[in-house]
C-alpha cells in the first residue's frame, strides 16, 4: 500500500519533501492472532539531505485492538549498484489485545530543519485483522470425540451384523432340527422302536452341540432321554409305537420344538 507524505509549512521557507526524494512506508502483517506481539516497521528513505535528519514521532500506532509495548529507531545505509540509500527505521512492537479489524491510525513524524520550521511526514492508516487463536485443546477434544463416535458406529454396525448373522444361523439350525424331527415323527408308526430311538439320539446330540443355555425343563427332558438312549444302545428302550410317540413328545420338549399336532393311534 502506497503511503502519502504531506508537508505543513510553518514558514514560507520550509522546503517540500520531494526536494530531497523523501519517502516513507509502513511494513505490517495483514493478519494476526489474539495475544500475539505484532511487529510494525516504518521505513523512511531519501536521496539527498542538507543535514542529518532527526525524525520525531508525533502520534502512536495504538488503537482499540492494539497496545504499544515497545519502540526503537535506528539509521541504516545501503549501497546498491554504487548508489547509497540512507534510511531511518522505526520499529513498533504491538500487543493484539482484542479481535476484529484493527486500524493502525495515520502516523505523523516531524523532521526539524536547521533553517527553521519542520517538515511533517504522514503515513496513511493500515488495517490488520486479528483473529482468535486456534485452540489445539478444543480441536483435539473434537477429534477425540469424532473418533469415539466413529468407533461406536463401527462397533454398532459390526454387532448388528453379528446379531443378524446369528439370527439367520439360528433360524437355519431351528428349521433343520424341525425338518429332521418331522422325518422321525413320520416314521414313528412304522419304524423299529430301538432303531428309531438311536436315530433320535443322533439328532439330540447334534441339537445340544448347537444350542445355547437350556432351561430347567429342557435339562430334565434331556436327562430322561439320555436314560432311554442308554437302554436302547444295550437292547432295551421302547417296545412299540405308543412309547416312541411319548419319547417324541419328550424330545420336542427337550429341543423346545413343541407343537400342537394330532396323533393317531392307528
Q: Report the C-alpha gap between 182 and 195 in whole angstroms.
A: 16
Helix (H), strand (E) at residue 92? strand 83-96
Confidence of residue 44 (pLDDT cuts 50, 70, 90): very high
What's this model's pTM, rounded to 2 decimal places? 0.49
Q: What is the pLDDT of residue 102?
A: 92
Decide if 24 contacts 5 (C-beta within 8 A). Answer: yes
Mean pLDDT, all residues of the chain: 82
Is 191 found in the same domain as 129? no
The mean pLDDT value for 17-36 works out to 90
Is 223 found in the same domain as 148? yes
Is residue 129 assigned to a domain? yes
Is residue 265 assigned to a domain? no
- Residue 264 clears pLDDT 70, i.e. is over it: no
Confidence of residue 4 (pLDDT cuts 50, 70, 90): very low
Is 103 found in the same domain as 206? no
Is 104 found in the same domain as 40? yes
Is 128 found in the same domain as 184? no
Q: Which of 111, 133, 155 is the last residue of a domain?
A: 133
Give the CATH number, domain containing residue 124: 2.60.40.680
Which single residue is written with the C-alpha cell 448373522? Answer: 165
Q: What is the pLDDT of residue 108?
A: 93
Is 163 found in the same domain as 248? yes
Q: Report the C-alpha gap between 233 and 257 in whole angstroms.
A: 25
Structural domain for 31, as ranges: 17-133
Give the chain's domain count.
Answer: 2
Beta-bridged to residue 92, according to DSSP, are 40, 71
Decide: helix, strand or coil at residue 153: helix
Which single residue is written with the C-alpha cell 488495517? Answer: 127
The mean pLDDT value for 232-250 works out to 81
Q: Report the C-alpha gap between 41 and 263 in whole angstroms.
A: 106
Q: Report the C-alpha gap between 170 and 162 in whole angstroms.
A: 12
- Per-residue pLDDT tens digits for 160-212: 877 777 666 667 777 888 888 888 888 888 888 888 888 888 888 888 887 77
- Residue 53 clears pLDDT 70, i.e. is over it: yes
Give the CATH number, domain containing residue 189: 1.20.120
Is 114 found in the same domain as 27? yes
Q: Are strands 126-131 and 31-33 parallel, antiparallel or unpaired?
A: parallel
Is 179 found in the same domain as 239? yes
Is 250 found in the same domain as 205? yes
- Residue 62 clears pLDDT 60, i.e. is over it: yes
Local structure of residue 19 (DSSP, 8 states): G
- Residue 148 clears pLDDT 50, i.e. is over it: yes
Residue 150, all three cell numbers:
466413529
Residue 180, all three cell numbers:
429332521
Q: Which of 133, 149, 176 is the last residue of a domain?
A: 133
Q: Which of 115, 133, 151 is the last residue of a domain?
A: 133
Is 90 found in the same domain as 27? yes
Amino acid at each position: 500500500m502506497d503511503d502519502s507524505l504531506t508537508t505543513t509549512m510553518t514558514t514560507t521557507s520550509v522546503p517540500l519533501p520531494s526536494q530531497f526524494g523523501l519517502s516513507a512506508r509502513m511494513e505490517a502483517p495483514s493478519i494476526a492472532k489474539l495475544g500475539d506481539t505484532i511487529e510494525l516497521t516504518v521505513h523512511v528513505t531519501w536521496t539527498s539531505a542538507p543535514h542529518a535528519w532527526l525524525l520525531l514521532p508525533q502520534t502512536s500506532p495504538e488503537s482499540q485492538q492494539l497496545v504499544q509495548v515497545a519502540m526503537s529507531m535506528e539509521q541504516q545505509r545501503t549501497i546498491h549498484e554504487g548508489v547509497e540509500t540512507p534510511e531511518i527505521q522505526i520499529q513498533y512492537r504491538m500487543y493484539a489485545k482484542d479481535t476484529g479489524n484493527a486500524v493502525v491510525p495515520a502516523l505523523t513524524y516531524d523532521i526539524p530543519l536547521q533553517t527553521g520550521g519542520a517538515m511533517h511526514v504522514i503515513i496513511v492508516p493500515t488495517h490488520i485483522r486479528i483473529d482468535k487463536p486456534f485452540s489445539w485443546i478444543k480441536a483435539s477434544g473434537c477429534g477425540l470425540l469424532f473418533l469415539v463416535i466413529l468407533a461406536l458406529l463401527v462397533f454398532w454396525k459390526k454387532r448388528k451384523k453379528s446379531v443378524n448373522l446369528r439370527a439367520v444361523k439360528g433360524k437355519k439350525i431351528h428349521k433343520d432340527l424341525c425338518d429332521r424331527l418331522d422325518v422321525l415323527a413320520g416314521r414313528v408308526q412304522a419304524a423299529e422302536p430301538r432303531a428309531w430311538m438311536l436315530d433320535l439320539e443322533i439328532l439330540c446330540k447334534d441339537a445340544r452341540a448347537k444350542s445355547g443355555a437350556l432351561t430347567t425343563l429342557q435339562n430334565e427332558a434331556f436327562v430322561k432321554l439320555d436314560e432311554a438312549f442308554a437302554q436302547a444302545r444295550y437292547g432295551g428302550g421302547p417296545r412299540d409305537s405308543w412309547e416312541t410317540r411319548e419319547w417324541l413328545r419328550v424330545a420336542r420338549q427337550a429341543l423346545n420344538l413343541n407343537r400342537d399336532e394330532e396323533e393317531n393311534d392307528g
